[in-house]
Structure 1
Amino acid sequence: MNMNTSFRKLCNSNYLKLIAIIAMTIDHGTDLLFPGFPTEPVPLILHFIGRLTAPIMWFFVCEGYHYTKDVKKYMLRLGIFAAISHFAYCFGFGISLNPLVGGIFNRTSVMYPLFIAVVVLYIEDHMNNWKQWQKKLVQTILILSCFPADWSCIAVLSILAMYSERGNLEKQIIKMIGWVFVYGVVSYLFVSKTYAIELIGVLMVYPVLKLYNGERGKAKWMKWFFYIYYPLHLIIIGIIRVLVYGNVNICL
């Protein structure tokens, strides 16, 4: 067995999700150590690495929706996960639990858009008794509800675009980049120029996902590890935030 074949066999979904978890931890840890997206080289590089996380998540939401044996259970699991993660995210970064209080961005975690993306896909594929205009109306409202979340509506739109090209990684990445570009322009104009520039890091996801061999991996516990790790690491960040800075908001 040559080295290339051996390496590719290691790159199942578990390994790629582990890369996402590591990148996410680096990204959120940088938010804690360097609040407000400063322009210094170290936080720039660390956030650049962190941009790997979201597109890997989006990719595997597409895979999860496609392969799940029970889409309703999958939706329920993501919905519960999004609710728990909201409290952890707000505590982690010192944000009000009420998404309508404070700024209009980053009021809840990216897990809410992941959940909504699956609901939107479910409506499209399974609500056959609905008229097309009814589907589009409800889907639009659901997508807009993600506006205050981390990655905003772009997370849902990226997942929908990637799912439409499932099986063709190059087209998935091109469509995803298109939506991230829109997000970058909005971020540059209204949020943070530094944050917008750091979004270039999503380009790193292509060579990473190119290693995916289509297998889930033997460690089935990895699925639950991610569900537990996401809110847990945010709670730890929140505890450190309070101890170091006091109960202040360190998010954009």
Structure 2
Amino acid sequence: MDKIKKISNATNLKYLAIALMFLDHIHEMFAFMGAPMWLTMIGRLVFPIFLFLAADSFHYTHDRKAYMKRLLFMFWFMSIGNTIVGSIFHNGDVGLMNNAFSTFLVTGIYICSWDLLFKGLRDKSKDEILKGIGLFLLPIILAIPTLILASMLTGGGLHPVVLRLLALVTIMIPSIITVEGSFLLVILGLLFYIFREHRNIQLVVLAVISLIFYLIDPVDVQWMMVFAAIPMYFYNGERGSGNKNFFYIFYPAHIYLLWILASLFR
């Protein structure tokens, strides 16, 4: 058991998630060519693993502001990239909407909000409590202009160029309704952070959120993310020697490569 735990550091889990993510996106892009369903089924493990690792990253990072800025930049980069690549290359009825950074960013906002509220209540600091409440409300408030812009998109009567600009602005606003995978994943990431020192509770949280996904839509395979509990259980808390910037490069690169290849086979 100890030998297995030593293997399961953050680098191992990250590369496992990246490999499963690649297979998942093969199904997403090439389902029309008969890519098997099991590719996306095992891909359901990806988000929980990354959110699990992000909980540790937010706790141990020496510069949380820089971390959040990097997530925000990548969120904007993917939003713009999706618009450009998706307008040039077309993949039938499939929309290029992949942007996991939206989920990680909003999760990070709520983690920061939690820390401010916790510290404010502990130290009886009104300023910290107010900042925490402000951060908590931010993704909710930002959903309002997103909804307004979305209603303008469906209203009609606007020039196509204006419509494209509105669409771009809409997807570049981080809010509770623009996260990939639903807001339930943000809750999952926050709870992973809150209970980061209690592995068994983290596994229970994963099981509960997976059950909620199943109850919402039994046909959807998102509930299969519960099996991420297996690699999570064997995580030993060590970082490993992996390149921390690899994901930031690989994620957009493989999505756009697969999307372009799929469009060429249409």
TM interval, shorter chain, is 0.7 to 0.9
CA deviation map 1:88-131 (0-9, x unaligned): 45567x489xxxxx99x984512111111112222332475153
Determine if contact 2:139/2:176 at 8 Å carries over to the other structure: no
Which ranges of structure 2 fall in alignment gaps of 5 or more residues? Answer: 121-126, 144-173
- The residue aligned with 1:26 is 23
- The residue aligned with 1:119 is 109
Q: For residues 15 and 136 of structure 1, do their structure 2 counterparts lie closer, same or farther at Cα, with a shift above 3 Å needed?
A: closer
Determine if contact 1:62/1:159 at 8 Å carries over to the other structure: yes
Determine if contact 2:75/2:102 at 8 Å carries over to the other structure: yes
Find the aligned partners of 1:228 and 1:133 in 2 and give their Cα distance: 34
Find the aligned partners of 1:134 and 1:239 in 2 and give their Cα distance: 41
Q: State the AA in 2 paired with 1:116.
A: V
- The residue aligned with 1:243 is 264
Structure richer in helix, relative to its length: 2
Is residue 2:10 matched to residue 1:13? yes
- The residue aligned with 2:223 is 200
What is the CA-CA distance between 1:183 and the residue it aligns to? 3.6
What is the CA-CA distance between 1:170 and the residue it aligns to? 2.1
- The residue aligned with 2:37 is 44
Identity of aligned residues (%): 25
| Matching residue within 42, 62, 65 for 1:69 | 62
Larger radius of gyration: 2
TM superposition score normalised by structure 2: 0.72
Find the aligned partners of 2:259 and 2:183 in 1 and give their Cα distance: 25
SS in 1 for 2:234: coil
Q: For residues 106 and 244 of structure 1, do their structure 2 counterparts lie closer, same or farther at Cα, with a shift above 3 Å needed?
A: closer
Q: State the AA in 1 paired with 2:240.
A: G
Find the aligned partners of 2:138 and 2:59 in 1 and give their Cα distance: 22
- The residue aligned with 1:53 is 46
Q: State the AA in 2 paired with 1:9.
A: K
What is the CA-CA distance between 1:135 and the residue it aligns to? 4.8
| Matching residue within 235, 239, 253 for 1:212 | 235
Q: For residues 180 and 109 of structure 1, do their structure 2 counterparts lie closer, same or farther at Cα, with a shift above 3 Å needed?
A: farther
| Matching residue within 158, 181, 200 for 2:211 | 181
- The residue aligned with 1:138 is 138
Is residue 2:255 matched to residue 1:234? yes
Find the aligned partners of 2:178 and 2:187 in 1 and give their Cα distance: 14
Which ranges of structure 1 fall in alignment gaps of 5 or more residues? Answer: 97-101, 246-252
SS in 1 for 2:265: helix
Find the aligned partners of 1:49 and 1:91 in 2 and give their Cα distance: 29
Q: For residues 207 and 90 of structure 1, do their structure 2 counterparts lie closer, same or farther at Cα, with a shift above 3 Å needed?
A: farther
Determine if contact 1:89/1:234 at 8 Å carries over to the other structure: no
Q: State the AA in 1 paired with 2:201.
A: K
Aligned-residue CA RMSD in angstroms?
Answer: 3.0
- The residue aligned with 2:201 is 171
CA deviation map 1:135-172 (0-9, x unaligned): 54335446892323321212211111221211222211
Work out the number of aligned pairs and report it: 222
What is the CA-CA distance between 1:180 and the residue it aligns to? 3.6
Find the aligned partners of 2:50 and 2:180 in 1 and give their Cα distance: 13
CA deviation map 1:213-251 (0-9, x unaligned): 1111123x2x11111000000110121122112xxxxxx
Q: State the AA in 2 paired with 1:7.
A: I
Q: For residues 7 and 176 of structure 1, do their structure 2 counterparts lie closer, same or farther at Cα, with a shift above 3 Å needed?
A: closer
TM superposition score normalised by structure 1: 0.76
Find the aligned partners of 1:168 and 1:160 in 2 and give their Cα distance: 14
